[in-house]
Amino acid sequence: MPTIEIADGPLKGWRRWREMDEDGFQCLVGPVYFRDRADGGVECRSPTEAKHRNNQGRLHGGYVMSFIDMALFAIAAPALTAHRAVTLTCNTEFLGAGVPGEDIYATGEITRETGKLLFLRGLVMQNGPIASFSGVLRKVTPR
């Protein structure tokens, strides 16, 4: 998937998908930025706003799960250079509550890759852990 690298400001060096300029669900949730880590992994980041809160003033679980689903693809990107992918499973275990107005972060890894499947796991953080996650993506050939 084509990406754009942020050239200046506080997000300098982070990337995002070009599709974020278009309409679609990802535009409702908010941008997801990602960058390579020194250890070979990927770090994801998303700003949070008041629109992401639940009725208790914390980050809504559905928002966190949507962020996780998008983070899976950023983490899997090195294995998807010749393919696109779709989510088969996305499992979330909530560990804490996030607050709107502060960025959330995700890191993760590919734990196994087969011919068509990618198995991943990771952690969402914001001043401590918010959720752990695992998922399976299925590689598909672009049309």
Question: What's the confidence (pLDDT) of residue 19?
Answer: 63
Banded model confidence at residue 1, pLDDT cuts 50, 70, 90: low
Domain count, the chain: 1
Domain extent for 58: 3-140
pTM: 0.91
> For residue 66, is pLDDT > 70?
yes
Are 118 and 109 contacting, i.e. CB atoms less than 8 angstroms apart? no
In the predicted model, what is the mean pLDDT of residues 86-103? 97
Are 3 and 15 contacting, i.e. CB atoms less than 8 angstroms apart? yes
What are 7-32's pLDDT values in tens digits? 888 888 888 876 655 677 777 788 89
SS3 24: coil
Q: Judge residue 94's burial from the number of C-beta atoms within 10 Å of its C-beta, 0-12 exposed, 13-18 middle, 19 or more buried.
A: middle
CATH of the domain at 10: 3.10.129.10
Are 100 and 91 contacting, i.e. CB atoms less than 8 angstroms apart? no
In the predicted model, what is the mean pLDDT of residues 118-133? 98
